[in-house]
Amino acid sequence: MSRARASLSHSVMGALVLAVLAALPAPARAAAFPPHLRFRSVSTSRVTVHYHQGLEAMARQAAALATDILAAHELRYGVRAGRVQIVLADVDDDANGFASPLPYPLVHLRAVAPHGNDELGNYHDWLQVLLSHELAHIVHLGEAHGLVRAARHVFGRAPFLFPNATSPTWIVEGLATYEETEETPFGRGRNPDSLMVLRMAALEDDFPGEDRPVAGLDRWPGGQASYLFGEAFFDDLRDRYGAGVLPEMARVHSGRLIPFMDELTAKKVTDATLVRLQVNGENQTSRPASAAWMAAISSRSALPPVMRTALQCRLSWMTRISRFTTEGAKVSRVLTPAWKKPVS
C-alpha cells in the first residue's frame, strides 16, 4: 500500500514538473528587431505609433503628421481606413518604409532620412513624404465597396477581398507617388532626377508599355520605373479628367470580386482602357508615341482586358541572383514574384 502511494506521489510530482516546464516561455530564436530594443506606444484618435528607445520625439511627430495625412487621404477617397498601426524603428541605413492592409492596416517606417542624391531626391520633411506615400497605400489598398465589402463582413479581411492590391505595380506605386507629390512641397513627381528620366524616355521615344514599369524591370531605371512612370500617368490622367478620376477608379475597382480587371475599371470610369489612355495621353513630358511603341501597345490590345492585367502582374518579377558560367557566356537568374512583397 505504501509502495503504491509512493508511486502515485512520484507520478504527481513528475506531472507538476512537466506542467511547470511547459509553462516556461521558450527562448526566442528569431525576431523582427534586435532583442535589446524596448518598444513603447503613443496614440492619437486614428493611429498608434510603436517606437523603441531614442525615438520618442520622432514618434510623437509621426503620430501628429499621420493623423492629419490619413484624414486628408480618407476625405479625398471617401473611405475610412480604421486605426493604423505604425512601427518606427532605427535598424536600417536605407531610407524607406512599407505598408500592408493585411491582417490590419500596418505601416513600417525606417527612422533614417535619404541623403538627397538618390532617386528620392529633394524633400522638405522626409517623415511627411514617407507617411503621405505609405498612408496612401493603406487607404487605396484597403478600400472595399459593394460585394467585396459585404464579403468582408462574412469572411473578414481575407487576402482575396482586396481587389486594389492585385493591380499592377505601376498603378499601386504610381498612385501613392502621385499622392506623395500632391500632399508635400516636393515628392518624386517634382524631383529633377525623376523628370530627367521621363524626359529622356520622351526624347528617345522609349516609354515603357503598361506591362513593363514594374518592381523587377531589368533595365534603367529598374524598380523605380513603377514609381516614376506611374506617377506621370496619373498626373496626366488628372489633367485630362479632373482630380476626381483617381478616387473614382479606386472606388470602382475596389468593388470587383474578380481580380485583374483594371482595364474594365478604366473603361468604366474614363471610357478608355489603360492601354488606350497611355497611347492617346499627352503626359507631362509631351512625348510623341513612337511607331515601335504604338505597335507593341497594339499587339497587347488584342488580349482580353483581364488577360492583359494578369500578364502585367505575372511579369512583375524581381531579379534576386545572377549566375555566370565559367566561360561567361550564359547568365542564369533566380527570380521571385515581386507582386507578393509588401508595397513600399
Inform me whether the pLDDT recorded for 40 exceeds 70: yes
Q: Which of 117-131, 134-148, 287-301 has the highest mean pLDDT?
A: 134-148
Beta bridge partners of 108: 87, 98
**Phi/psi at 119 (5° precision):** -70, -15
CATH number for region 29-340: 1.10.390
Asked if the model's pLDDT at residue 218 lies above 90, the reply is no
pLDDT recorded at residue 11: 65
CB of 113 within 8 A of CB of 126?
yes
Per-domain residue ranges of the chain:
29-340
Phi and psi at residue 160, to the nearest 5° = -80, 0
Rounded to an integer, what distance in angstroms lies between the CA atom of residue 209 and that of residue 85?
A: 36
Question: How far is the C-alpha of 77 from the C-alpha of 80, rounded, in Å?
Answer: 9
Residue 228 has pLDDT above 70, yes or no: yes
- What whole-number percentage of the chain has pLDDT above 70? 68
CB 316 within 8 A of CB 339: yes
Confidence of residue 196 (pLDDT cuts 50, 70, 90): confident
Q: Is the pLDDT of residue 319 over 50?
A: no
Phi-psi region of 236 (alpha: psi -120 to 50; beta: other; left: phi over 0): alpha
Q: How high is the pLDDT of residue 26?
A: 59
